[in-house]
Amino acid sequence: MIQDIAPHRYDNTYHIQKPGAQDYVFCIQKGRILLRETAEEHVLTIPCREEIEAAVPELMDRAVYLFSVDEKPYFLVSVPEKEAEEILAKLKEGAGQMPVSDKNNMEAGKTDSGVLEGAEKELEQLCYAWKTPTDIRAMDPMHQAFAAITAVQLWRWRQSRQFCGRCGAKTEDSKIERAIVCPVCGQTEYPKISPAVIVAITNGDKLLMSRYRVNHSTYRGYALIAGFVEIGETFEETVRREVMEEVGLKVKNIRYFKSQPWAFTDTEMIGFFAELDGDDKIRLQEDELSEAGWYTREEIPDDARLISVGTEMKMYFKYGPDWEKKWQEHQK
């Protein structure tokens, strides 16, 4: 999953500090994140303070510490939409070249930034671009994708809490914890994390999978049934309600699988397996789903990239408890 970054270490202990010259900086506007992109290989990497400051020095006055990975700090700079293109133009004016290896060595030698080290290097022209969360899904190495989407989640939270929801005063950063506080009434806001369930419904040797409607999600692949927890519900009650709402089925023997922070939707996903209870006729919730059906293990496609708990659950059903080894063999 996207947060499974071992042997890299994620540390979200709160600090107040300024970025060093080689520390990574996420500039974000309207949910899009500024990344380096090589012209030919389209490798996405994270810019550091030094290169951003050289082109747009005033941006660093806004830098806010986020977290560290392997003791390497990451920072956030919120960029107004009206400044986005000007910043991009200034960075492109000073864009140089960065070393990248050939495709065959991509997986073996990535450094923290995604740039490759080793004797065999070639120079590829460097450019900058505003990238979407969907672009981040394909970013390598995985710990950089995790850092990037977590930064976007924290940016969304900060953008939505610029003014106090109680008294309307302008808010400010807490000096003691990761929180936004109102200096007038004392209201304190913490990062938004919404609990949701995702459930793999089994019917003997078949698994229920669905597809989202185009206007409901950008994800076009096969998905499991999922939904947010409502006030007063247990996770198990949410499973039953969501399954009934989306596909009109009853389930039993609900069993916990694992959980996952899913920054794309500010969510903590809690994964469950459940068995069909009774009639298998699907009654589709058409405002969310475009299709749903029962699929045998042989009919379930392999996902090339395991970034979500839903993907792991599909592969677990397809291959069994040692699914990871079998999945890796099929990727060769």
Here the CATH number for the domain that contains residue 14 is: 3.90.79
* Claim to verify: residue 40 and residue 153 sit in the same structural domain: yes
CATH of residue 259's domain is 3.90.79.10
* Claim to verify: residue 208 and residue 154 sit in the same structural domain: no
pLDDT confidence of residue 215: 61
Q: Is residue 25 part of a domain?
A: yes
pLDDT confidence of residue 156: 96
Domain with 278 in it? 194-320
Q: Is residue 276 part of a domain?
A: yes
Q: Is residue 220 part of a domain?
A: yes
Q: Is residue 231 part of a domain?
A: yes
Q: Give me the number of domains the chain comprises.
A: 2
Q: Is residue 331 part of a domain?
A: no
* Claim to verify: residue 52 and residue 133 sit in the same structural domain: yes
* Claim to verify: residue 70 and residue 140 sit in the same structural domain: yes
* Claim to verify: residue 15 and residue 154 sit in the same structural domain: yes
- In angstroms, the CA 35 to CA 43 distance is 10
Domain termination site, one of 159, 178, 210: 159
- In angstroms, the CA 50 to CA 119 distance is 25
Dmax over Cα atoms in the chain, in whole Å? 65
pTM here?
0.85
Rounded to the nearest 5 degrees, what angle is found at the Cα of 126, between the Cα atoms of 120 and 131? 120
pLDDT confidence of residue 117: 39
* Claim to verify: residue 89 and residue 211 sit in the same structural domain: no
pLDDT confidence of residue 88: 87
- In angstroms, the CA 296 to CA 318 distance is 8
Q: Is residue 222 part of a domain?
A: yes
* Claim to verify: residue 151 and residue 208 sit in the same structural domain: no
* Claim to verify: residue 298 and residue 237 sit in the same structural domain: yes
For 9, how many CA atoms within 13 A lie in the half-sphere containing its CB?
5
Alpha helices in 1-118 (DSSP H): 49-55, 81-93
Distances (CA, A) of 143 to 30, 47, 81, 176, 291: 23, 15, 28, 27, 33
* Claim to verify: residue 201 and residue 273 sit in the same structural domain: yes
**Which residues lie below 8 Å from residue 68, measured CB to CB, with a gap of 6+?**
10, 11, 74
* Claim to verify: residue 131 and residue 204 sit in the same structural domain: no
Q: Is residue 175 part of a domain?
A: no
* Claim to verify: residue 204 and residue 154 sit in the same structural domain: no
* Claim to verify: residue 79 and residue 215 sit in the same structural domain: no
Q: Is residue 184 part of a domain?
A: no
Contact 210, 247 (CB under 8 A): yes
Q: What is the pLDDT along the chain (332 residues), one digit of tens a residue?
A: 778 888 999 999 998 999 999 999 999 999 999 998 876 677 889 999 998 998 888 889 999 999 999 999 999 999 998 898 988 888 877 654 343 333 333 333 344 444 433 333 343 456 889 999 989 888 888 899 999 999 999 999 999 999 999 999 999 999 999 999 999 999 999 999 999 999 999 999 999 999 887 665 556 678 999 999 999 999 999 999 999 999 999 999 999 999 999 999 999 999 999 999 999 999 998 888 889 999 999 999 888 778 899 999 999 999 998 888 878 877 76
